[in-house]
Amino acid sequence: MTTTHRRPPAPQPGLYRFTGLDFGTVGLYVAVAAFFALAGELLLPFLRQLAPSPAVASYGINLVFYGSVGTLALFAARRVVARDLRVLATRPWFTLMMVPAAVVAMMILTALVVAAGGDVRTSANQAGLQALMQQVPAWLMIPVLVVIGPFVEEYIFRHLLIGKLSRRLNIWVCCALSVILFASIHIAGQEAITLTALLPYLAMGATLVFVYVWTGKNLMFSYFVHAAKNLLAVVFIYAIPPELFEQLQQVQA
């Protein structure tokens, strides 16, 4: 009696060639992010006329931004997404166990790195997100912070900067670029780029780079880890009563 085994799909080198859609997606991401980082304040008076509150305006901008870039990214990486999901489907228990384990490892590493930095504080990016989440319901924030945002960032900082760029540069150089650029983009235009501000995002980026490379450049695995971490943060923030949240912010300040 013979038995069959489910084997992961064979590698497809053609999936790691840069395409015009890759450049277009990255160009849109960088252009819009740079515009709002450098000239976002100029739009505030106009946005306040369109939206009932600054929180609604900020949410609308993020939704349109990530929605448009995310649509392009998903279309550009659709073949890789399909392949990586098939790979993970061959090892469902591995995925179910290792995604939470990677999130825990990320949190531990972040805590150790930030503590070693000696100046524990909330970054401007994190504080802004927390303030926004106090004014926008969870069912609106989850699509941006948990579904679309992590995919866009994994597509750019892991799939493109490591998966594709490593065909032209040393993979460890690509990994370093991924970690540094991932951390920098999260604080650019909001506060001075210092080691203290970068540390939490460096730890997060290093963990995501590790799981991406460790799983054979599996975009969807690193995406699931990133999305799970963001989901945990959303649940944590929405579970804290507003009064206690304000007290915690005052203590950290």
Average pLDDT, the chain: 83
Residue 241 is predicted with a pLDDT of 63
H helix or E strand, kind and range, residue 191: none
Helices 78-89, 92-117: crossing angle, 10 deg rounding: 110
The pLDDT assigned to 250 comes to 45
Q: Residue 59 and residue 48: Cα distance in Å, rounded?
A: 12
How does pLDDT run across 37-85, given as a tens digit for each residue?
666 666 666 666 666 677 777 788 888 899 999 999 999 999 999 999 9
42: buried, middle or exposed (CB in 10 Å: 19+, 13-18, 0-12)?
A: exposed
Number of domains observed in the structure of the chain? 1
Inside any domain, residue 2: no
DSSP assignment letter at 170:
-
- Is position 70 within any domain? yes
In the chain the first and final C-alpha atoms are separated, in Å, by 69
Q: Is residue 1 part of a domain?
A: no
**Residue 5 domain-assigned (yes or no):** no
- Residue in 57, 56, 61, 66 with CA at minimum distance from that of residue 137: 56
Domain assignment present for residue 161? The answer is: yes
Q: What is the 3-state secondary structure (H, E, C) of 27-73?
A: HHHHHHHHHHHHHHHHHHHHHHHHCCCHHHHHHHHHHHHHHHHHHHH
Residues 6+ apart with CB under 8 A from 186: 123, 125, 201
Q: Which residue has the higher pLDDT, 240 or 173?
A: 173
The whole-model pTM stands at 0.86
Q: Residue 182's domain spans which residues?
A: 19-252
* Arithmetic mean of pLDDT, 208-236: 95
**241 within domain boundaries:** yes
Domain contains 14 = no
Q: Please return the burial class of 11, using the count of CB atoms within 10 Å of its CB with bins 0-12, 13-18 and 19+.
A: exposed
pLDDT digit string, tens, across residues 153-203: 999 999 999 999 999 999 999 999 999 999 988 876 555 667 777 888 999
What is the C-alpha radius of gyration for the chain, rounded to an integer number of angstroms?
A: 19
**Helix, strand, or coil (residue 4):** coil
pLDDT at 142 over 70: yes
Whether 11 is covered by a domain: the verdict is: no
